[in-house]
Structure 1
Amino acid sequence: MKDGIDWAEVGSGGRFENIVSILLSTLYPDSQRIDGSGGDGGRDHQLVTDNKKDYWQSKYFLHRLRESATRKRQVTESLITAAAEQPDSWTLVTPMIPNPEELRWFDSLQPGYPFPLKWRGGDWLDARLAEHPAIVRHFMGANDQYVALLRELKQEQDAMVDGLPAAIDRLEQLAARMDHANPFYRVDFSIENGKVASASLKPKYPGAEKDFPIETRFDIVVESAQAEDGLRQRVADAFDWGEAVDIPAANIRNLNVNAPHGFAITDGSADISIGAVAAEAVQLSLQLLVQAPEGRRVAALPFHLAGRTHGAKGITLRGVDLTGMIRVRIRAEVAAGRVQLNIRSGTPSQGILPGTLLPALRFIAAASSPNTATFSIQGVPTGVAIELPDAEPLEPRYVEFIEGLARLQDVTNFPFPVPESWTNKDEYELRRAIRLLNGERIRIGAGPASFTLVRSAPDMAATISAAEFHSVAIPAFDPYVARICGHDIDLGDYTHYVQKARITSVELPENTGYRVTIDPDAGYGIEAALGVKNQPPGQPAVIE
């Protein structure tokens, strides 16, 4: 293995820039290479943070500047271009070591710029590359040591002679040595049931996979048309939209992988997992509108878009509504002008109030064929109408229960979260409470019932003197309390109503009032309604 790089052997054509860029990516893992296809802006590499911008410019100058009339001009032109971006530093990198005269010329440029100028020559490069010999091995073709390390790794996995605890130390040492032998990837081990299950490659720095891409080619084989369609769609989604897909080895033929030494595969077969493209974080608002066939709006719901991915076909946006119950995926084929909308509903977040959940439920109920959907992002309508698929309808009892809870809490100012579960009795009591809030009467008993009336009650004498009468209204002394999902909810004052009643009374001692017993006719019973007015009777009682 060579101890360093012979810069004369590197040649032009971007190889020198590659070496420098990989070295800088290794030294500064958060830095990035600049694609110069559209102009490099006076730098080949940069490190940009919240408070600072450092630029590097590589020039493959092997010999003195004076040997070419254009070299000084190339440096100054790059510097002027970079200065327009207002960097915090600009560094020139060359394989030649500048002499005193060249350094004086370079230093003479400094007064014209507010940021420091640096020149890193071949001596600096050699020193840094000595600290990272994997870069030298890669570019100078000295990979024998790397191959030997992989062979040693294979033997270690096969042997495990001292058991896993002792083997782990040796595997870690091997991984460290392999790490020094490859400038782009490190080796990670997966251990299952006391054995090394796999050895995987992970990029050492952002963009390493671009500097040394792992290229994979394979054929997919399936046995049935149905299986082919399903697998074909999953693979297509992986490449077109950046989705994840797992392909079993049974469906793989002619697998060829161009990877670092020891990980390459030729005409093989293996399980293949294609990971999802990393989502780009976004903060966008989405409004989905559902329209009936005649154009009438039937539902609307806001969403928060937090992830965006790119694939070969277009862009995918993902978001969730405020309840956490509904997730949306929008796929936009920009070239074709097509938009796909996928809506999935699940379980709402714990602790959510019924009034917050209700718009989501109404949206789900409406978001199905033959209705259509339109949407706007950041308040800007797209003008695209999307057909909605047939959807499984929501359970009507569920929607009715949430609607009832929302109404009850709004009127009584008694908020509590949607319970995780409820009983038939809870539903029954809620329906009765809603009927009371709607001004209806509910039956609370069959009778007879006894009441104590004070002597000063209006028309008391006339009431008591009649043995039978068409109806009677008697205010209750305590509020009506509905017990629903473990909560006692005060609905306010209420009145007892009895129709077709027979009344008997007993005067209480010391003339304090009357003890009245009311016995309704069969089929009527005793009803209750909110309020304390002695109002005339309504329709016959509803028997529940």
Structure 2
Amino acid sequence: MIHWHRLDPAKVERAIKMLIVELCPGTQAIDGAGGDDGQDLRWFSPNGLVIVEVKSHADRLTASRKRKIKKSLENAARHEPVRWELVTPLDPSPAELQWFDSLRASYPGVELIWRDRAWLDGHFARREYLRRMVEGSEYTLLQRAAEFDREQAVLAGGLPDLADRVRVLRARTDDLPTGWKIDFATNDGDTTFTVSERFPGAAAHDPLRFTPVFDFPDDDPLAVETRANLDRALDYGLGCTVAQPYLQRIDVNASDETLRLLGLARTATAAAVELIPDVDRTGLPMPVVVEAVSADGTVIANVQVTVEDRTHGRRGIAVTGFDASKTFALTMMIAKLDTDGWQVTFNLAMNPVDGKYPFAVRPAVDVILALVNGNAIQVRAADTLLGPARPPTPAPSVSAPPMARLVVVLDELQRRYGARFLIPTDISARDLRDLEMILELKSTGRSRWPYRGINMHLWPDRLAEFLQNTEMHRGAILARFDGICMTVAGHEFDLGPVQFHCPHMILSNIDALRAADPNNDPEARWLCAPGEHLTISSVSVEPEVSVAA
């Protein structure tokens, strides 16, 4: 048990950030020394921006703490996240939960999640390096080795000590008087035990069966989804993980002697159970083409996929393949029906695209986008169709996922600008919006400017005249520039000559202009009136600025 309230708050927050980065690869930690703008961590998930707020509070939330958390949420909301998470080693009280629910009501478009002490305890319990980080010398390896009088475990003699210890432990497992052979391995701090028959037929004389017991409430959407994944894994031999709270326990069926020798009880608990596929690669790999087709059979988009794995389950087989960029994953499940014939089901998944070239990922994304519009999928090996066209399961969202939109817009822009660069890892929702605006401008010659305001420098000797002319303070505005460059996600895009237009704008910083020093390059800022927006258009004329009442 971790006594969070006794720990160094700075170490606690650092350790929690490391946990989040480990759980969500690609997460960016923000240095808050100069203000983190409501973002301790940010992660561009497949569904959009996720912002995480980390607090070390291990006791009740005071009014001051609640105000600071609410302020962080307000700042984070300006970045338009799809999800905002509060992570703190505190199990909330009913009153604190009610307060947090009130925040949800204020931000209906953002999913708010509170990761509490129980959540942290579960993850820290499986990560010794994090416990050692927050608990200091109390949890060091040397002290633990001394407590158990296992000096050799600290490897004072180097690798030979490690080899000797492993040989001794392996020999002890081989000497267990049971029909089962025990092997073990470690990887990334986890220990895996492999139990196999000591000799063929030994299981019949010394049965050993592990039966996980699950509970999937019908009113829990995640439970329903997890059960469906488990059924699919059992039906087709696929991989699957079921964790608490849906994993209730594991029943162990064996003789009393075997249980004693292996140190097992009749009932065990575990954080999760994982089904590992038994892969059959006979006759593989095999190239196929995945096609998105309309109702009349027209092929709208296609992507080359290499089938690499085959698995077997209680209902049928599943084959899994990937496109060349390893972004698009297809699983084709083939079930034998009670009557003559087979039932084919397609399952699609998209892996992260950051660090890849847009043109390499584009074919897979085009298929996904075609399926968003309700089209079907079919697989072709050479000239042979592998089953009839069917909708994928689950069906893609009715709206294009941000990841797919990002790939398309970057590929189109890179073609137009003649430049190639990898998809950045730090793309935000605002960056995607700016990129889509640039593409629309370059494609059609005009687009809606994604911001409500526009700034223009004023001639110092004309400032007083400008302030006296009230007709210049509101009305329609047309501003032309001979060239504008935008930097998005670290890359510069030349928009060329453009003009901005809005039928009704209001000068928003008139008080600041009245108090400004004319010699300090005064700058006026106009904001769109309610219900209005700025339009940006490509032009080929000399720059000028005009304001009409």
Give your verdict on TM over 0.5: no
Of structures 1 and 2, the larger Rg is shown by 1
After TM superposition, the score normalised by the length of structure 1 is 0.43
The structure with higher relative contact order (CA 8 Å, sep 6+) is 2
After TM superposition, the score normalised by the length of structure 2 is 0.43
